[in-house]
A and B are shown apart, each in its own frame.
Chain A
Amino acid sequence: MSVIATLNSLPLYLICGAIIAFVAVICLVFMVRAYRAGVKMGMDEKVLKRVMTSSATFSVLPAVGILLGVIALSGSLGLPWPWLRLSVIGALHYEAQVAQGAAEHAGIGGLSPESMTVSAFTTIALLMSICIMWGMVLSVLFNRGYLKKIGIKNPEETALNKKSGFGDMAMSAMFIGLVSAYIGSYIGSFVSSEGLFTFKGDFLPLIVVLVSGLVMAIFVYLSEKKKKAWVDNFSVAASMLVGMTAAVLINLL
Chain B
Amino acid sequence: MKENRNEYFEKYNNRTHLLGRVFTVIVLVLLVGAPFLIGAVLGASPDLGAVGRGFLSVGLIWTISSVVEFLIYTPMLGAGGSYLAFITGNLINMKIPCAVNARDMAGVKTGTPENEIVSTLSIATSSLVTIVVLALGVLLLQPLKGFLQSPALQPAFSNVVPALFGAMAYKYFRGNMKIAIAPLLLMSILFMLVPSLTGSTSMMIIPSGALAIGISYLIYRKQK
Contacts and interface: CB of A to CB of B under 8 A. Distances in A.
Contact of B6 (A34, A37, A70, A156): A156
Residue among B152, B194, B198 with most chain A CB within 10 A: B198
Given A91-B92, A106-B54, A133-B32, A156 B2 contact: yes
Interface residues of A, number: 164
A189 to B, nearest CB: 5
Contact of B167 (A184, A204, A216): A216
A56 B62 contact: no
Contacts of B135: 20, 83, 87
Interface string A168-210: 1111111111111111111111011100110001001110111
A63 B75 CA distance: 24
Given A89-B86, A177-B213, A180-B183, A210 B31 contact: no
Nearest to B2: A156
A24 B132 CA distance: 9
A180 B212 contact: yes
Contacts of B189: 184
B157 to A, nearest CB: 5
Contacts of A217: 170, 174
Interface string B161-179: 1111111111111101001
Contact of B27 (A23, A29, A42, A60): A23
Given A48-B106, A183-B165, A185-B204, 8 more contacts: A41-B8, A41-B9, A47-B107, A61-B160, A71-B145, A88-B89, A91-B92, A176-B183
B42 A87 contact: no
Contacts, number: 597
Contacts of A162: 109
Dominant secondary structure at the A interface: helix
A7 to B, nearest CB: 8
Given A180-B187, A182-B165, A247 B155 contact: yes
Nearest to A90: B89
B208 A52 contact: no
A155 B9 contact: yes
12 contacts: A12-B41, A27-B128, A28-B128, A54-B102, A87-B130, A105-B57, A133-B32, A139-B24, A147-B74, A171-B100, A184-B208, A216-B167
B34 A19 contact: yes
B43 interface: yes
B34 A191 contact: no
Given A12-B38, A143-B74, A208-B163, A30 B187 contact: no
Contact of B112 (A91, A98, A101, A158): A158
A186 B32 CA distance: 35
Interface string A120-157: 01110111011111111111101110110011111110
A198 B171 CA distance: 31
Interface string A47-74: 1101110111011111111111011001
Given A23-B131, A167-B75, A152 B111 contact: yes
Contacts of A206: 162
Contacts of A239: 163, 166-167, 170
